[in-house]
Amino acid sequence: MISRIDHVSIALRDTEFDKALYFFKTVLGAIPGVGLEIDGTNYFWQLFSLGDLSRLELMKPTGEGSFLDNFLKDKKGGVHHITLETPDIEKAKRILDEHHIPYFGYHDLGPVWKELFIHPRDAFGVLVQIAQFDPGDWIDASVKMPPHKKFAVRRTDEGCAITFAHPGGGKAQISLTKEELAELLNSLGEFV
């Protein structure tokens, strides 16, 4: 039902947002992806990629009446929810129904995004968002492989570095020594 954890979302007061941007982007090297404020929602979100496959989302209210108001009432910020990717939101709904796990906030935005939420009281203190989407749509081009390319190989002094497209939209890299590369080529010879 779940492909992976897509991202962890941190909600922040507006006064803390720029400090968090500096911390995650400048200090930790997070790469900004898509950011958006949807009309009438009174909040802004920005995705960031960290390393090969990890993502983080920063959110802030942009006006009164934001769903973040209550969450931020007594604090400057904190982990708001985790987002789990599913290949099939309808199947996820059926499984939750079969196990009597209530959910709310179902939204179907067509092929771009489908989501639902499980309340923290039903998920051991964590707000869980389950969503169906193409993860590559939400990250910066610098952290994903070129379209229709599954891997790239680069020679290094020690052997080679192989970068693979990841189903989560990003890319992952592995370095091989010359001995490991020889072993890999020998193993691949069995398939050719």
Q: What's the CATH code of the domain at 75?
A: 3.10.180.10
Q: Are residues 93 and 46 in the same domain?
A: yes
Q: Is the pTM of this model over 0.95?
A: no
Query: Cα separations (Å) of 154 from 75, 146, 151?
Result: 47, 15, 10
Q: Are residues 118 and 176 in the same domain?
A: no
Q: Are residues 18 and 68 in the same domain?
A: yes
pLDDT tens per residue across span 105-153: 999 999 999 999 999 999 999 999 999 999 888 888 888 999 899 999 9
Query: What is the number of domains present in the chain?
Result: 2
Q: Are residues 173 and 103 in the same domain?
A: no
Q: Which domain holds residue 152?
A: 144-189
Given a contact cutoff of 8 angstroms between Cβ atoms, the answer to whether 11 and 1 are in contact is no
Which stretches of the chain are DSSP H helices?
14-21, 69-72, 89-98, 178-189
> How far apart are the C-alpha atoms of 108 and 192, rounded to whole Å?
45
Terminal-residue alpha carbon distance, the chain: 34
Position 70 pLDDT exceeds 90 = yes
